[in-house]
Amino acid sequence: MAQASLGFMYRDGDSIAPDSAQAIKWFTKAADSGQPSAQSALGDIFRLGIGAPVDKAEALKWYLLAADHGDANAQSALGAMYGMGDGVAQDTTAAVNWYRKAAEQGEKVAQTNLGNAYFNGDGVQADKSEALKWYLKAAEQVNLTHKSILPKCTKMATASSWTKPKRSSGTTRPRRNRALLLISRLYEQKPSLWPGLKSPTTEQLDIQESRHLHLWPAFHAAN
């Protein structure tokens, strides 16, 4: 554990002058002794070329070792590699599997990417409700200003097919609720991204929904 800590100190310049060579030295010692955080850190170094030449095969080796020990950063990174075909054959199904492992541990980047996978139907059957679930989990952790998410949530919340949902459907209204809630949270964090946002009328929302409008400052303005 001390070896991994030294690696992070040298990598980040934490109370010591940053030194990539020393960081790699200590990470390697820790990784060889089975420290998942050090293995994951080496994966980052070789995937991104931080203080060492880019080597995707080496990055994959260390990420897999760390991921097998439950390291969420490594699992998320593997999802990205498989999702983009970055150093490996593209495999969106494998990407989703790795994203899910990391997302279930609370890794916010993986939660966002898993949401994207469900939104676009990449490697998994498209499911907007599931996409919103993961977007919300990520939004609760960080100030999200992801431009890739904002238009998707706007579309889901304002789609005409959702304005007057069929009462026989038990999924449309709850899903729209979550879209509105996520938009609100994102709006609170970065209102400048939402110029001219209009409020829905209570006719578009039933009484049960209307009592939650205080949660949605994005929609407080008058029509």
Q: Is pLDDT at 139 greater than 60 in this prediction?
A: yes
Q: Is pLDDT at 161 greater than 90 in this prediction?
A: no
| pLDDT, tens digit, 9 for 90 and up, residues 122-134 | 999 998 888 888 8
Q: Is pLDDT at 50 greater than 50 in this prediction?
A: yes
- Percent of the chain whose predicted confidence (pLDDT) is above 90: 49
- Three-class secondary structure of residue 107 per DSSP: coil
User: What pTM, to 2 d.p., does this model score?
Assistant: 0.68
Q: Which of 46, 32, 35, 34 is nearest to 4 (CA)?
A: 35
The domain spans of the chain are 143-223
Please give the distance of CA 203 from its chain centroid, rounded to a whole number.
34
Cα distance between residue 207 and residue 203, in whole Å: 9
